[in-house]
Amino acid sequence: MRILISILLLFITSCKKKDNPEPVITITSPISGEVFMPGDTIHIEADISDNNVLSSVTLKLLNAGYSPEDHQESFSINASSYHLSYDYVIENKYLTSGTYYLTLSVNDGDNNKNEYRPIVIHEIPRSRKTIYVFIQSDSNNVKVNTVDSSNQLNHQFDVAGDYSGSEINSRYNVLSMSGKYSGAINQFSLLNNANTFTFPAYNNTLPSYQYLTSAHEYTFVSFYDGRIRAYDFTGHIQFNSQQPVSYQPGTICINDKYVFAEGFYQSAGENRLVVIFYPTGVARQEINAGFDIVSIISRSDNDIILFGNKNGDGKIYLYNVTSNGMNDFHSIFGKTIFSAIAIDSDRYAIATSGGLYSYEVSSNNLIPVDVSDAIYSLAYDDINGILFVNAGRAVRQYNFPNSGILNTVMSSDSVLDVKVLYSK
């Protein structure tokens, strides 16, 4: 009997040793539902205790799905009780409005304990920061300029070589540029104008790079030798089109499902539209476009609008992936289209040799906005509803589609392009 009692006492004692209580976390600041914005400092006060010695506590900011949204911090404890007092700065300026959770996590060796404090974060409104103007002063250099508040050009830095395209990634504050014959692919930090990576031109007398655009936070470049690649802001390749191919890719456009590219078959003299699966890079299909494509704009996953030129006329086509068919929607007779840009889901601005036009798909209506001289490239500030127009040696600003000019920036040399940098 005594042996049985001893065994029972030993069993009970063993169970008690394994039944350790969880750590206790009490958050006293911030209060539940307190409101913040990115960039704000959250003062955190909390008391943490346990019957065992705790090694550390981790602080995280989680979204409504309990995934991390900003930096985390860890604090050494090495005691059974600890008072945390810390000022946490919300560094992620891209947080959208909603409920988030400040979370403290500890482990006492047996138990994990998380304590959540819900807070509300209001997102920072997006705003325009800077207008960039690219100028070809000579055949060996491209000048990168900004526009100041008095509509004067301020020179920032030079990029060696010629020019085929540029894009600004406002999230990472970087400018990507590509040359054609002599210019490299370059990326610059717009925080300090430093060059962050370079891929030199690879052909001697032939073009190297044909076209540059951006999508999914990547910079996509079409190569004369048939490749289409995408680079992240660190210069690492994130997309490769299937190789080999027999065409030279030119104008490209990317949506969530496909990469669309103009493919010029030199032996046949054909301009085709090539559809490539994204992100695998595997080709899906082609169609003989029958005209020179200068701009491709996605309207949905399966529908795009094409702008280009055929037999001396500007042409507008709609293309559907499922049917692999094109509809000839409109012609601009006797005018060459240089570029086009979307204003909204139905309306487009078109730069032509005969001036600036507005086009509405739903009504198939082409409206001349300003036909005083040739327009070469366009940029649209969707925050302020302002269209920037490259008119050769002048950059004009329009409250598009109104024809009145808001401002004009003059250049002594030929303007290549205009781009807009936003706050995020």
State the residue for tokens 């940098």: 421
10 Å CB burial of residue 66 (0-12, 13-18, 19+) is exposed
Q: Give me the DSSP letters along 129-141.
A: EEEEEEEEEETTE
User: Phi, psi at residue 157, to the nearest 5°?
Assistant: -165, 165
Q: What pLDDT score was predicted for residue 152? A: 97
Q: What pLDDT score was predicted for residue 401? A: 80
Calpha distance 124→234 (Å, rounded): 25
N-term to C-term CA, the chain? 77
Whether residue 147 contacts residue 409, with contact meaning beta carbons closer than 8 Å, is answered with: yes
Inter-CA distances, 375 with 134, 382, 411, Å: 15, 20, 15
Helix, strand, or coil (residue 60): strand
Calpha distance 306→20 (Å, rounded): 68
User: Phi, psi at residue 76, to the nearest 5°?
Assistant: -70, 140
Long-range (24+ apart) CB contacts under 8 A made by 28-33 are 30/102, 30/117, 30/119, 32/117, 32/118, 32/119, 33/118, 33/119, 33/120
**What is the DSSP secondary structure assignment for residue 184, as one 8-state letter?**
-
Residue 158: beta bridge partners? 143
With a CB cutoff of 8 Å and minimum separation 6, the contacts of 34 are: 42, 119, 120
Give me the tens of pLDDT residue by residue for the chain, a chain 424 residues long: 455 444 444 444 444 445 578 899 999 999 999 999 999 999 999 999 999 899 999 999 999 999 999 999 999 999 999 999 999 999 999 999 999 999 999 988 888 899 999 999 999 999 999 999 999 988 889 999 999 999 999 999 999 999 999 999 999 999 999 999 999 999 999 999 999 999 999 998 999 999 999 999 999 999 999 999 999 999 999 999 999 999 999 999 999 999 999 999 999 999 999 999 999 999 999 999 999 999 999 999 999 999 999 999 999 999 999 999 999 999 999 999 999 999 999 999 999 999 999 999 999 999 999 999 999 999 999 999 999 999 999 999 999 887 689 999 999 999 999 999 999 9
With a CB cutoff of 8 Å and minimum separation 6, the contacts of 332 are: 313, 314, 315, 316, 350, 352, 354, 357, 366
Calpha distance 61→90 (Å, rounded): 9
With a CB cutoff of 8 Å and minimum separation 6, the contacts of 354 are: 332, 334, 335, 371, 374
Q: What pLDDT score was predicted for residue 74? A: 95
Q: Which two tokens stand for residue 330?
A: 């409109």
Whether residue 171 contacts residue 217, with contact meaning beta carbons closer than 8 Å, is answered with: yes
Q: What pLDDT score was predicted for residue 11? A: 46
Calpha distance 200→192 (Å, rounded): 22
With a CB cutoff of 8 Å and minimum separation 6, the contacts of 107 are: 23, 54, 55, 113
Whether residue 130 contacts residue 421, with contact meaning beta carbons closer than 8 Å, is answered with: yes
Q: What pLDDT score was predicted for residue 111? A: 83
Calpha distance 395→237 (Å, rounded): 34
